Amino acid sequence: MPLDETLQTRVSALNTALKHHAAADVLRRAFKAAPNLALVSSFGAESVALLHLAATVKRDVQVIFIDTMLLFPETLRYQREVAKHLGLRRVEVIRADTAAVDPDNTLHQRDPDACCDLRKTRVLDAALAGYDGWITGRKRFQSGQRAELPAFEVEESTGRIKVNPLAHWSREDVQEYMSENNLPRHPLVAQGYPSIGCAPCTTKVAEGEDPRAGRWRGQQKEECGIHFVDGKMVRTGATT
């Protein structure tokens, strides 16, 4: 669908006005600009920072968690622990119906892009249909595709606002925030998984490797496909 020029103008104005503002300010303005927002979280290695920050800005923030049914058991336990610790009252767990397309859970071996599309992209698109926009934990340092990430975007295909309040945060900023607020850590981080996705497509990272080297190791893939770059769906690589 063509972009709403009025919405695009508003988003551009928000990016200009909040260019040097803190993440909490970005979230406050986001909820004013589009009150019907959902925070999409993978409950991965760094997710708790944004979840905590959002809960301090809006106690009843809506959270969406995609259970791909291929996640580590540790991630599922961590999701429940974090939700309880932060008092998150509105956590929607969504799952794809994979019976017809991937009944034996081997699609990731044959076509990882198709697996991500089935288990993440499609189910999230459906879940977000009733929202004006969504909040992500993406950061500029995470990959080349995110280097110019703004705080606010408009998705070309849906017309939804996309908010990236931590876009300018460094890895050190995230770790400092988690330490200062005594937030629970994902148990797999201490075991050598600094970036955590689905179990079949995530490996340990050796000392000196890029933290995301364990995601789709050996494949030309950086994003799972739920995010957009310059208004276009990225079908080649990780979640927040």
Tell me which residues of the chain have a pLDDT lower than 50: 1-2, 144, 146, 227-240
The predicted-structure confidence for 72-121, as pLDDT tens digits, reads as follows: 999 999 999 999 999 999 999 999 999 999 999 999 999 999 999 999 99
**Distance (Å) of CA 136 to CA 76, 97, 207:** 19, 24, 28
Residue 234 is encoded by which pair of tokens?
A: 């990225």
- For the entire predicted model, the pTM comes to 0.86
DSSP letters for the chain: ----HHHHHHHHHHHHHTTTS-HHHHHHHHHHH-SSEEEEE---SSHHHHHHHHHHH-TT-EEEEE--S-B-HHHHHHHHHHHHHHT---EEEE----TTT-TTS-HHHH-HHHHHIIIIIHHHHHHGGG-SEEE----GGG-GGGTT--SEEE-TTT--EEE-TTTT--HHHHHHHHHHTTPPPPTTGGGT-SS--BGGGB----TTS-TTTTBTTTSS----SSSEETTEE-------
Q: So what's the pLDDT on residue 230?
A: 38
The set of long-range contacts for 186-195, using a CB threshold of 8 Å and a minimum separation of 24, is: 186/43, 186/44, 186/45, 186/47, 186/48, 186/74, 186/75, 186/78, 187/74, 187/77, 187/78, 188/45, 188/72, 188/74, 188/75, 189/45, 193/45, 194/45, 195/44, 195/45, 195/238
Which fold is adopted by the domain 5-190? Rossmann fold (3.40.50)
Q: Please give the distance of CA 88 from its chain centroid, rounded to a whole number.
A: 17
Q: Catalytic amino acids?
A: 224
Kindly list the domain boundaries of the chain, sorted by start residue. Answer: 5-190
The predicted-structure confidence for 228-240, as pLDDT tens digits, reads as follows: 343 344 433 333 4
Using DSSP bridges, classify how beta strands 133-135 and 161-163 pair: parallel, antiparallel or unpaired.
parallel
